[in-house]
Every structure is written in C-alpha cells, then in structure tokens.
Structure 1
Amino acid sequence: MILLHGTGQVKGIWEALGSELREDGWAVFAPDFGHRATDPLNESIDMLAAYIGAVLHSTGAKRAIIVGHSQGGLLATLISMRLAHQVKHVVCLAAPNHGTNLGGIASGLTKIPGTRYLLSNFVQSYWGTSGLEQLTGSKMVLSSEDHDVLAPGVTYTCIATKFDQLIKPTHSCFLDDGGQGMVDNFYVQDRFPQAVILHEQMAHDWRIRALTREALFRLVDEPFNANEALT
C-alpha cells in the first residue's frame, strides 16, 4: 500500500489513514517526493516508479495498491498506465485526472479582468511547475476521450467532493473506462449527504478514510461498511 500526497503537502497528511490501514493488516508506505510535489510531474513519476519497484522487491509483493490525494491521485493514475504489471488498484481522492481550470486552482483571482497571465505566474510561483501541469488542457492530464488508455488489469476507485474549491469541475477526478467495469466513481456526498468536505480535507476526513478502507476491503472480499464506521 503506497500513499501519495498532493501538491504542497508531505507524507504526514496520511498519519490517520496510514495507522488505520496498518491496523487492517496492510504494509503501508508513504514517501515524500518532488519538493512537496512541486517538481515537474514526469520527474515525480520517475522517482515514484523506482520507489514502487523497491517496495515490491523488499516486500515480495507482486503488485501495489496506490492511494493518492490531489496531485498524488493523478500521479497514481499515470503510474498505473506506465506500470500496469506492478499496480493492482488505484484510489484517487479529489484528483485532477482531467485537470482543473484556473478558476479552481486560484479562484479568488478570477474576478479580476485580464488576469490569465498573472494567474499562470501565481500558480507556478506557488505550486511550482506541477501546478501548471495540472491545469485542464495540459499534456500531463487526461482528455475527456481518454477512456481507452486506462491500464488493463488495474481497477480504480475515484472519490470526489462536491465542495472541492480547487478541482473544477469537481468531476475531473472521475475516470471513464468505456463501461468495462474497471472504475468506481462517486462523490462522498452520495454516501454521506450532509458531509461538507473541502479539497484539503480529502486525505484525512474520517468519512473519506472509511470509504477508502471499504474499497480496499472489497479487494480482498472482506465486509466493511463505511457508513457504519466510527468517527
């Protein structure tokens, strides 16, 4: 089990989920990478691909499960396409798989006329090169026609929140497998209708942790209901 943090974050965001997953019996690894995930995405992908190989070698496992929040989820998706033989399942938490628009990543500045150039500079200075690479239309994110590029043999769980203030549109997280049954897309509010969960809370909110564990228990045919989990 490999946990990937988002842009500007570090592995510490996984403290609660990591502890629960270890109690569930998973071998959990959570690397820091890419100078708080601000480096170019391809550099982080190369580093994480090597890391995954090292984890598989040291544990003797044949394939890894990757859980990623925000950029970490996008990286998990891209890595699964490159290393399908080493990845079993991907959980994306508010991941910009199809990118986010500038109104999402810097929403407070979009009300000022003629600010696209300033917004791009702001994004790069605050989130690094990886920030620009996560915008809709970047060659690093998936297009709406990319349902056929998902890795064969890999399954995906994509969880978004309707209150995401950074990933716009919020359904950017969802993947399209062309009806092959590889992907489970849903909003946390589909299961917890009253939940007001922001983008940055998606890595540690108890309901997201419960839904993540539920998806992982399903992989090993063990019963677990997120709606019955304790806070």
Structure 2
Amino acid sequence: MADRSVSRGRSNRRRGRWAAVCAGFALALGVGQGTGVAAGAPVPPVPRGNILSAPVALVGGTVHPDAPPAGADDWNCRPSHEHPRPVVLLHGTFANAYDDWGVLSPYLKQLGYCVFAPNYGAPPGSRIKATAHVPDSAREIAGYVDRVLRATGAHQVDLVGHSQGGGVTPRWYLRFDGGTDSAHPERNKVHSLIGLAPSNHGTTASGLGTLTTRLGLDPAVSAVVGQAYSDQMVGSEVNTELDRGGDTQPGVDYTVIATRLDEVVTPYTHQFLTAGPGATVKNITIQDICPRDLSEHLSIVYDSNAAQLVRNALDPAHAQPVGCGLALPVLGG
C-alpha cells in the first residue's frame, strides 16, 4: 500500500510539472503575438489571413465579380456603442470588392463593425472594376455612403480603401460630392479615411506611367484599360484639381499605410498627405513598424500587420501593438 501511495504521489507531481510547462508554453505563445494586453483584459482577435488567402480571393472575384466579401453588406446591421460608425471598404483599380477584402472584411466584422463593400467604376458583371473616370466613381461612392447611412441610422462612416479606393476617388468624394461640409465639419458624412497604398498624388507606375505620359499615350492606354489610368498619373487633371485645394478636409482624420516596396504607386512617398486646417494626418510606412514586412502594393490588403494598423486607426483609443507576422510579396500573410 505504501508503494502505491508513493507511486501516486510521484504521478501527481509529474502531472503538475507538465501542467506548469504547458501553461508556460501557452503564455509564451501569447507574448509572442505581441498583444501587450494586461492579464484578464479581453484580447482583440487577429486577422485570419495566410499565404493562400489572396489566390483564393482572386479566384472567387473572377467567378463572382459582383459578390461582396465575407462579412460585408449586412443591411440589417446596426452599429454598436463600441463601434458607432459603419466601415465602407473601397477596392482598388482593376480589382473588385471580393478579391480585395477577403481578409479585412471578415476581420472587421469579427471585431464588431458593420462592414460594407461596394463595387464601383464599372458595369455589373465586369471582372475588373474602378476603371471609370474618378469623378464618376466618386459620385457612385457618394450614393452608396448615403444608402449605408440611411440603412444603419449612423451619423457618419469610416472609409478604408486600397490604392485608388484609398486615394484620389474618396478624396474627390470628400471635397466635391458631399462627403464633407467645410463650413460645418460636424455635418461631415465621413469621420476618417484610411488608405492602404493610396494613390494620393499620382504615380509614375515604376516608370511606365512617366513613359506613357511623355509620349502622349495616356489617352490611348485609357481607351483600353479605363480612364482611371490617366486620372492617377502624376500631373493629371484630377490630381491637379485635388492638390490645388490642399490634401485634406476639415473634420476628417486621415491615415496612410504605405510600403517601401510599392511597385504601382511610385514613388511611395506620393501616397503621404499633409494636414490642412481642422484635419489630422498620420502617415505610416509599414516597414517602420515591422521592418521585415515584405508586402507590396497588391499584397498589402492581405497583410495581417496592415490589417492591425487599420484596426488601430479605426479605434485609436484601444490601439494595440502590431504582431509583425510574416508578410510576403503578392501573397501577404
């Protein structure tokens, strides 16, 4: 009997040691995520992206070019006290909502936001969108935001956009199509604009745009790929008109999330904004936060580090450290 008692005691001590090891391992994993959350506090979810998310979404966007991404376009959604403003996601040029927002849309929905993701700048059924003249696309967005405000009962929305959808088109909407009221900023329909690799001040397109512009070929190229191409070149009429009145509108908070590896909106510093009266601007280069982040123009919307920066920009009062996970060119992660 004594031998059995000793054996049971040793077994219990072994189990206790294993439990401690497992608990320590779990704690180490939690610290490795870089959450910086105090014990007992709720841990915000992290984006559920991986290197297959972008290719899968690309296929889905080809098969269903007019479909919303997961988590978006619940017209019965009502904003919560914690997240009172719906988020409207605006895709980039030659993309659609489904293939641009496969990670960010369900992530924001999981965080408790009402999420909406229009397709714009092309007829229904078109695989590639956001190819129309920028002012025309801006008017589409104006109508869509009004619809979101009516459906949700919200006073304002937050805009999160990629490339054209984070740059010239929403800025045109804010200035010229009713997104803001300069005389009465409290009446603004938009609280914040968060751009992922936004086309704010025109692009050289890694030299291609410079070549077509100098050769006078922009109209010919736009006749094939859409007027949005010419509109986003350095020195275009759209950019000249926007820049004439300054970068920002009173009462709007702007965040730019850029990557040094951008090969489309070049130089990448053309993405940054300068705050005017009554506005705030935060310009972020993602490698300054996560030095080993390898996302470029396309994959930044599938970069979990960028998604966490968007979360912080939407809710700066509860900002959390970015985990700085693996992010690859083209694929994200």
* Aligned match of 2:175: 81
How far 1:14 moved relative to its partner? 0.4
What's the CA shift string for 1:131-161, capped at 9, x where partnerless?
1000111121268965745211111000111
* Contact 2:205–2:263 (Cα < 8 Å) also in 1: no
8 Å Cα contact 2:194-2:256 kept in structure 1 = yes
Residues 1:44 and 2:137 are matched in the alignment? yes
Work out which of the residue numbers 91, 115, 125 in structure 2 matches 1:5.
91
**Are the structure 2 counterparts of residues 149 and 201 from structure 1 closer, same or farther at C-alpha, using a change threshold of 3 Å?**
closer
1:29 equivalent among 105, 109, 116: 116
Based on CA coordinates, which of the two structures has the bigger radius of gyration? 2
Does the C-alpha gap of structure 1 residues 162 and 119 become closer, same or farther in structure 2, counting only changes over 3 Å? farther
1:188–1:208 Cα contact (<8 Å) kept: yes
2:321 is aligned, of 218, 225, 229, to: 225
Partners of 1:121 and 1:78 lie apart in 2 by 21
The question of whether the paired residues in 2 share the 8 Å contact of 1:161 and 1:199 is answered with yes
Say if 1:21 and 1:80 are closer, same or farther in 2 by CA, change over 3 A.
same
Within 5 Å, give how 1:34-73 maps onto structure 2. 34-35=121-122, 36-73=129-166
State which of 250, 254, 259 in structure 2 corresponds to 1:161.
259
Count residues in correspondence: 224
Structure 1 segments (4+ residues) deviating >6 Å: 228-231
> Cα 1:149–1:98, aligned 2, differ >3 Å: closer, same or farther?
closer
Bigger shift: 155-164 or 177-186?
Answer: 177-186
Please, which runs of 5 or more residues in structure 2 have no aligned partner? 1-86, 123-128, 181-187, 327-332
2:206–2:263 contact (8 Å) kept in structure 1: no
From the superposition, tell whether residues 130 and 183 of structure 1 become closer, same or farther in structure 2 (CA, over 3 Å): same
* CA contact 2:247–2:274 (8 Å) conserved in 1: no
Deviation sequence 1:83-110 (CA, Å, 0-9, x none):
1210000001111111112545x37x95
Alignment partners' CA distance in 1, 2:116 and 2:194:
15
Aligned equivalent of 2:103, options 10, 13, 16: 16
SS in 1 for 2:237: coil
Separation of aligned partners in 2, 1:217 and 1:73: 18
Segments of 5+ residues of structure 1 without an aligned counterpart are none
| TM-score under structure 2 length normalisation | 0.61
Q: Distance in 1 between matches of 2:94 and 2:275?
A: 30
SS in 2 for 1:141: helix
**Deviation readout 1:145-187 (Å, 9 max, x if unpaired):** 6574521111100011100011111111111015866000011
State the TM-score, normalizing by the size of structure 1: 0.87
Q: 2:230 aligns with which of 132, 135, 138?
A: 132
Could you tell me which amino acid in structure 2 is paired with residue 46 of structure 1? R
Cα offsets for 1:101-124 (capped at 9, x unmatched): 2545x37x95xxx98437525642
Q: Tell me the CA shift for residue 38 of structure 1.
A: 0.5
Amino acid at match of 2:160: V
Identity of aligned residues (%): 32
When structure 1 is superposed on structure 2, of 33-42 and 124-133 the one drifting more is 124-133
Q: Distance in 1 between matches of 2:273 and 2:134?
A: 19
Preserved contact between residue 161 and residue 198 of structure 1 (Cα < 8 Å): yes
| Aligned equivalents of 1:115, 1:156: Cα separation in 2 | 29
User: Contact (CA 8 Å) 1:56, 1:63: kept in 2 or not?
Assistant: yes
